[in-house]
Amino acid sequence: MKMPISEICDRYSIALLKKERANAENQSEIEEFGNEIKKYQNIEDYIQKLIDVNGKIWDLESDIRKGKEGELGLEEVGIRAIAIRELNKIRVGYKNNIVDMFKEGYKDIKMNHASAD
């Protein structure tokens, strides 16, 4: 099964962040996703929105991923978890808009989950 464009855009934005922030050696991944994205018109705004929201999520998760929960304190970890949930809600909305725009793939629907609005 082919990956839907909404998923390609999300993964592309994350691949760009990995290259920028972690100096990842992932140029072939970026090129492959980029070549697929070029087949779609008027998608650039969604790419930028996904880069922005995924970057914010990355920033909030960074210290937690590094195992610095003790330094942050449980209150700060909780605050970040809620912020991540809210940003993920926005991210899912962008991906669902891409599904609507191109009539390709399936919407991400959260059931009984705080990010489901």
Q: Which residue has the higher pLDDT, 64 or 21?
A: 21
Contact in structure between 91 and 53 (CB atoms under 8 Å): yes
Which of the four pLDDT bands, split at 50, 70 and 90, describes residue 114? low
Residue 110 clears pLDDT 90, i.e. is over it: no
Tens of pLDDT, residue by residue over 31-84, are 999 999 999 999 999 999 999 999 999 999 987 888 777 788 889 999 999 999
Residue 5 clears pLDDT 70, i.e. is over it: yes
Tens of pLDDT, residue by residue over 88-105, are 999 999 999 999 999 999
What pLDDT, on a 0 to 100 scale, did the predictor assign at position 115?
46
Contact in structure between 107 and 99 (CB atoms under 8 Å): yes
How big is the chain by its Cα radius of gyration, in Å? 16
Taking CA atoms, 108 is separated from 1, 15, 85, 105, in Å, by: 17, 21, 14, 9
